[in-house]
Structures are given as C-alpha cells and as structure tokens.
Chain A
Amino acid sequence: MIPIKLEVNGRPIEVRVEPRQHLADFLREEMLLTATHLGCEHGVCGACTVLIDGAPARSCIAFPAMLDGARITTVEGLADDAVAAELREAFMDEHGLQCGFCTPGMLVMARDIVLRRPQADEDVIRHELAGNLCRCTGYVGIIRAIRKVAAGRADAVVTRGTVLEPPAYASPLALPVSPARVAVEAPLAPSPAAAMAGAGEGEAEAEPLRNPVELSESFEVPAPRAEVWALFQSPEQVIACLPGARLTAPSDGRTLKAEMVVKLGPMQAAFGGAGRITPDAANWSGTIDGRGVDARSATQVRARLGYRLAEIEADAATRVSVDVAYVLQGPLAQMSRGAIARDVAARLTQAFAANLAATVKGETPAAQNASLDAGALAWSVIKGWLARLFGRG
C-alpha cells in the first residue's frame, strides 16, 4: 500500500492505496463518488472521464498511486461550477441524454471543449467529443447542447494540460511479486492411440481453420532431402527451432506437448498446448497441427505448420517450403490487431526458417530457448531478411 495525498472535489485526502487500483474504482469504492461511471474499463468509451489537475483524463487507466499531489474533480465536484450548470441546462433542453450512463463523462468533456474551444462549430465538437461514446442519443442532442453553450462563450480560455512537478522523494515498496506463469494443457490433445485409431477421428482433428492468417516461407539448406526429412520427424529439433518454444513432455514422435512464449511490446503470452504431427512420407511433406491457450489472458491459438521438401542440385541440397496458418481468438487478438500479430507471426516463421537451416548445417539455432521479444533476440537472425524486404541493406 502506498501513502498518497490527493485533493478530491476540493477536499484534501490522505490515504494508502494499492498500486493496481485504478482511479475510477478508488473514487467509487473508497470515496463513494459513484457519479463516475465505468464502461469499458480500458480507455475506449470515455464514461469515466474526470478532471485531473483541471484536465480531462480517463480515470479507468489512471492509478491513484501515480497521482500523488493531484487535484481530482468528478462530475459531483462540478455541482457549483458555472459552466457545468449551463451545460446541464442545455443537456436537458436539447435531449442530450437518454439513459444517462455516458452523461458524467460527456459533461466533463463538454466543459473542457467549451472552455478550450469557445465558438466551436459542429465539426470541432464532433472531433473533440469522439472519445466519448453514447449508445442512445445518436449524439445529435449532445452536440446541439454543447454548441449552444460554446456559442455563448466569446472569451478564449485555454485550459492547460496536467502540470507535473519533479518528485520530492523515491518510495521503495514491497508487495508480492506477480503470479508465476502457469502453462495449461489444451483441451484437445488426442492420445497417440486415438490419433492413430481411425480416419474418422483424424478428419475431425484436421478441421480447417476459419479465416486463418497465412504465411509462406521457403529456403534452401545444404543437405540431402533424407537428412532434412529426419529432422522434421524429430519434434525436439523442430521445437528447438521455434523461438520461445519448448517441449513440456517427451514426444512420441506423433503428438507433442509444448509451451511457447511470445512477447508483443509489454504484452507477454505463454501458450501451452498440444499438437499432432502428420507426416506424408510418400510426398516428402507433412503437417503439424496445434492448439494452445495462454492461461493468463485466455487467448486461444490454433495453428497449422505444413512443410514440403524438394530435391535440388542433384540431392546435394533441399528446398524447404513452410506454410503457416493460424487463428488467434481472445483478448490478445483483440488487443494486438490483426496486422501486428501477423508481423510477429511472420518474424517467427522467418526465425524458424533460419534456425532450421542452422540446425541442418550442424549449428546451434540462434534463438534457441529465447522468446521472440519482437525483435530483440531473434532480431539478429532476421535482420538480413528485413533489410532485403525494406530495401535498406
């Protein structure tokens, strides 16, 4: 718990807060100021907007621990504010609210708009209000209300951003560290016997991925095809080529249990799961199907890695073609946006290809056991490829 001093709606407060408690929860649960509403709780909807040192901010992604010395004003604190009074009147006259859930945030933001942008026209108001969502009114009444108040204000009064001062002291704290990463087994994982049992179950397992992200990579390794084939039949070696991946149990050669850590900026996911290896020796090809779950974010991934080996240079070398398809579902997919997840997957595929080539040549994979920290460790491996791709070589 961290001791802080705040001024909430003009009242000086001295409390101890847990660092992870966000400002909206603090205001509602500790201060019993329940006019601040919580909508999305990740900074998208604007319902929880309050004033921090006079400037609007999302209270759901602000933490009181970081706000020592700040002045907080909620919509309750604007009861006697002249501009807020005008706005309340205008919201009533112009049907600026229906269910009222977004209204506290709307009022705080509207007050900032009319102070900062007096004489604002509809375009300006719509632009400035874009961060506050309303699901009832269609915004027309809200915009009209703000416009009415803005039109009556000729004087330009610009509110400034938060004034931050250098801290007076450092405060080392002691709280339990974050919970240990736990890998879980995916629900799937058919037993080896079941996997080998019949075509029916095999087909059920191989159900196609819906709207997968697909990536292809092809590279040459200076070894005979049979040697490369042998490597692909060894789950230990294949997994060792995937940055951040490791087997969680010895593989029987047909199924595998593995864990894979992927870092995406500050986000980190540890996918624990199971896979099935299906070789097609007649065609020198095969697939590895897998499913995994990140226990912490409940993000699910389904992926398929297909490979084909072709003889080149009279079997002195082998061309390896790798096709990766995956579907990501859950919070991580929502947060990371498709294109960025795709970028990471593309780099993983690149690093996999580079490591595989190194393994065949008898070298140690460069990124073995290291997670793909989107560019840190595996970066050296893929730098050359990126340089070519972006023409910066």
Chain B
Amino acid sequence: MKAARFDYLRPASVVEAVAALAQDAGAKPVAGGQSLGPMLNLRLARPSTLVDVSKIADLRRVDERPDGVLYGAAITHAEFEDGTVPDPTPGFLARVAHGIAYRAVRNRGTVGGSLVHADPAADWPTTLTALGARVVLAGPSGARELALEDFILGAFSTALADGEIVTGVFIPRCSPQARFGYRKSCRKVGEFAEAMCAVLADPARGVHRLVVGATEGRHIVVTEAAAVIADPALLDARLTAAGLAAEPATLRLHQKVVRQAIEQLTTVPETESLPA
C-alpha cells in the first residue's frame, strides 16, 4: 500500500458531503482522483478522510437551459469527449476533452475536480474560462456562483472556502458561428502543457475572450479580446508582467501558442498529430 492511511466516506447528498468536510479539517473531497491519486501514492497528500462525491446524484446531473448547460461537477472528461452529454458550443468541449491527458485518465477524471485542483497547466481551467463558464459552489453557508476567472486565484489555489465543494459548472451557449482556438505546447501528448492559450470569438453575441494558461500562477484573462485577436503583440506586456519573460524561451513559447490559437479562429485545427 502506497498511500498513507485515510478514512473513506461516501455521502449520498451534497448536504452530507459538506457536513462531512465541515467536521474534519483534514478531509478532502475526491471524485475521479486522477490528480489526487498520484499525490496520495507519493504521500504528498495525507488527508485524514476522503469524501467521495463522484456518485452524488446532483453532481452527475446535466441540466440543459436556453442560455447554456449546467454540468454536474462529476461529469468525466470522456463523457465530454464522447458527446454523452449535450454541448452548448459547436463542438468545442469534445475537442478540449480529447486532448486531456490520456483516455484511461479521461474515463475517471472529472470536470469539477480539474477546476478545483486549479493546475495552471490543466485544460479545463484555461478553456472554460475562455468560454465564460461559471462554477456553482455549495458549502456550510449555502450555495453561490462565481465566474471561473474569479474562482481560480493562482496555482492550485481557488476561492473555495472551508467545507465548500464545487457542485457544477455552467457553460454559456455559443452562437453556431462562434469560433474557438485552443493550442497547448506539451513535450509529449498528454503531458502537462508548458504553454497554452484558448480564445473564443463569438461576434454574434459580442463576445471575444482570450485566456493564457500554464503560467506560473493565475491565468491571464482578457475579457474584451477583439483588439488582442487583431494584434497579439498587445499581449506581450501582460505575458512579461506575469513573469513569463524570465526565460526567453518560455516567453517565445507563450507568444507562439497565443498566435497559433488565434490562427485557429480562421483555420481548421489539427486534431491528432499535435497535442491540442
């Protein structure tokens, strides 16, 4: 046995999960466990209790609305990839999901878990921020909703309060003409990205958003991105301010990835031979 000892709880509802977490400061929620699992095995994470939220009905629910889709936090990457769940965008979610880690990981890893883990180099935090997603949280003091860019505060750091869990993520509906560019640079398919950029251009809704991920900390979020899309050089100052210019190669990589993502707004993206 690799992991240190922990207790295991499988609450039946969000209320029970929140209560279990509130009782024990050392307890951690777990869903797919694809990021937590390695940390448990390396004993870098030693929760006293794992509170399994992966089978809570509310977290497995998908709620289609006129203005978008509310996904339960425990929907897996593979379910997005396979189109098992509805997609309020013209196919963007399946494309993103296909590039996450490996299929064996996608079968178990969940969208909510990815957002809560808040790895700056992970796919969902960057791409869903670009799509203007909102997270739904439940905690001891009730439910609340946050824009994703206000939820992720930095590397592995979120606005989640003690005892709070993410129950769902709401992704707004795009117009059918919307275009999405997403590019990441990985040493190897499925590895963590060294640079990534997602950009959404949806002129019909007047939405242009660009997000740079795999930074050293918080994502760079441009909410009014029409000007940056026209001239990516405008972003250089912010890449430098985010500390990405310390290594010239890192800056070049991010600049290139931003430009490639923007180019995808007008070209058909390659799917297989490139990591994203």
Contact = CB atoms under 8 A, between A and B. Distances in A.
Interface of A: 2, 18-22, 25, 41-44, 46, 49, 52, 55-58, 60-63, 65-66, 68, 109, 112, 116, 123-124, 126-128, 130-132, 158, 160-162, 164-179, 264-269, 296-297, 331-332, 335, 337, 339-340, 342-344, 346-347, 373-376, 379, 386, 389-392
- The 8 A-B pairs at the shortest CB distance, nearest first, are namely A131-B102, A61-B37, A265-B156, A375-B157, A161-B78, A130-B189, A42-B38, A19-B8
B236 interface: no
Contacts of B35: 266
Given A109-B103, A340-B120, A390-B220, A374 B38 contact: no
Contact of B272 (A127, A266, A347): A127
B253 interface: no
B106 A161 contact: yes
Nearest to B158: A375
Contact of A130 (B52, B158, B188): B188
B272 A124 contact: yes
Contacts of B33: 61-63, 66
B41 A173 contact: no
B34 interface: yes
Nearest to B120: A340
Given A22-B2, A166-B56, A346 B10 contact: no
B252 to A, nearest CB: 16
A20 B3 contact: yes
A390 B42 contact: no
Given A2-B8, A18-B5, A57-B104, 11 more contacts: A20-B3, A20-B6, A57-B108, A58-B37, A60-B37, A62-B37, A170-B9, A266-B47, A331-B42, A347-B217, A375-B157
Contact of A177 (B36, B48, B121): B48
The listed residue with most A CB atoms (<10 A of its CB), out of B3, B82, B118, B217, is: B217
B176 interface: no
10 contacts: A41-B41, A44-B38, A46-B102, A130-B190, A131-B105, A175-B6, A178-B26, A331-B43, A375-B157, A392-B221
Contact of B102 (A55, A130, A347): A130
